Structure 1
Amino acid sequence: MSDLATLAARFGEALRAQGLAVGADRSARFARAITLLSPTRPEELYWCALATLVSSPDQIATLTQVFITVFGEQQNLAYAAARAAPAAVGAPGPDTGAESSRREVGELASGVERLAAREFADLDAGELARLIELMRRFRLVTPMRRSRRKRPSASGRRVDLRETLRRARRSGGEPAALRRWVPREKPRKLVVLCDISGSMQAQARAMLQLLVCAAGGARAEVFTFATRLTRLTRALATDPVTALRRAGDQAPDWSGGTRIGETLREFLDVHGARGMARGAVVVIVSDGWETGDPAVLGAQMARLSRLAYRIVWVNPRTAKPGYRPLAGGMAAVWPYCDAVVSAHRLDAVDDLLAAVAG
């Protein structure tokens, strides 16, 4: 994100040097348009600039020339400028360029909204990146639990003897009032186990991106699995694009087979039973295709259910009408799940958020 801000600021400086009134607000809109559109071609980046950085038709030629100078690309830009100029000139009034910009931004936004209604499995990497801003509107919130810490409360059932005696010093050692307390509350831990096998690759990338964007204050521990278990908690502590790149680098079994039971056993033996899963909300993202013994998976789910506060299973296949948990893996895990949701596209994520919140 810092590189994007630098690019937008330097391009704005170049435009100001040629007489265009491009302030920090327009540069910020330019950077936001790039984030929404994720342009992969020079002309797409040019349209982001045109939609956010000009305010009148006579500025288009200057913008085009500076764009070519800064980014070193001429192919297709002359055609793009020719398309832009008539549209801007044809509208009446002195604010024609501003209206054109608002129209372009509206079209970009509506395109992103349309992506929210498409299944994650049908989106390529660029389209998925365009959903980042929408994903940031969500918040993964886990239920609250009592902590060992306390806070003062007049309605508390327990007396805080230390605070009562400390205050009694002001009244000659006689306690004028009893000080009471109640336990503080904190959100439960969130643990995510994400299947990155071949049948779940697109869904896994979408779920990891959503987690980076929407985790908020939730303390999320993240693991991926296919043929092995990989902890990605630290790798995801960054912006969504970098997080997905790091996930791809650190998890070598992307698009491999699936051994859910064995990897779940490893998680419980190494992490879960030692406290990570205890009282936590555990989200498992998988279509349930198990290449190992379903009985092993069922036994490990039984172990997990005794530790976790809540188990949420995310399976995009459940969105299909008439779905039944007939596959060995899903049949084995179904009795131990508190909720099963599809979350197969962005406008279906609300069910996941509600299930996590309990």
Structure 2
Amino acid sequence: MVENIQRVEQEIAAAHIGNAAELEQFRITYIGRKGQIAALFDDLKLVAPEQRRQVGQDLNRLKNLAQEKLEQAQEQLAATTADTAETSFDFSLPPVPGTLGTRHPLSLVRNEIVRIFERIGFNVSEGPEMEDDWHNFTALNFPENHPAREMQDTFFLSQDRDKLLRTHTSTVQVRLMEMQKPPLRSIMPGRVYRNEAISARAHMVFHQVEGLYVDKNVSFADLKQTLYYFAKELFGQDTKVRFRPSFFPFTEPSAEIDISCLICKGEGCNICKGSGWVEIGGSGMVDPNVLQNCGIDPEAYSGFAFGMGIERITMLKYQIKDLRLFTENDVRFLKQFEGVI
């Protein structure tokens, strides 16, 4: 036993550790759980009882010797690596050019929408994302049993369902009409929330832009001409627009807005499902009950309102097929919009 201890001690003293691989091999050979020192400790039970104390002390000294050599080698290798890193850098290399970020496609389209409507006299209004029942539903002529009030569509923040995350930016229209007197001409871009499953065509968080114009003698013809102008400015002068009768609680009459498909130019494809048309939003004349709820005399004033999803418009404009790309922050996707302002 004593001879084995002396042999291992000589091997440890003579061991050369010059790199990380040799360091790891030294640790495994002598200090590891299956190393030579561990094997000597296992053999301690074979030593005569009167010699066991002295042999145990020799083994502990051997273990400490191996541990000290391992730690010294680690420090030397770390210092050598640091020195090499400092001296190996080539300071004559040219600098790495700074890379600029890109605007998000939703921001690009939002800004363009704002510029288009500003040119015809619309300003921008904003409001809180956490709303109450009055501004989100009741003032907008939603009846008590309307499906949008149910949990599957709305994120309620209180048990009495009076506090919620807004489901549309129409809440800003209500606040604007409550705070200001006509004439009113404004758009309301912003983020909205609905309790929906996330997929390539839907998301629980998305963006809308809504518009409101209230004044004396505002007609449906004014609404149509405004949206004709908007579609041609955003999508191109060859874009066609059509209105389909629809229903919304806060407008009467109401219509959905379609534009000719940008992919097939109206000839029919899988994007427009062969119809040649793609829906971009809803619109209509502001319901007299909504005007009255907001303190505006419906006998003296009339108005129109419209709303569109910014994600939907962005997908059409840039031919993006998966809504989830907007929120994944994939640099490869975002870099496609470099140089776009």
State the TM bucket, normalised to the shorter chain: under 0.3
Which has the higher relative contact order, 1 or 2, with Cα contacts under 8 A spaced 6 or more apart? 2
Higher helix share: 1
Q: Greater share of strand residues, 1 or 2?
A: 2
Structure 2-normalised TM-score? 0.20
Tell me the TM-score normalised to structure 1 length.
0.20
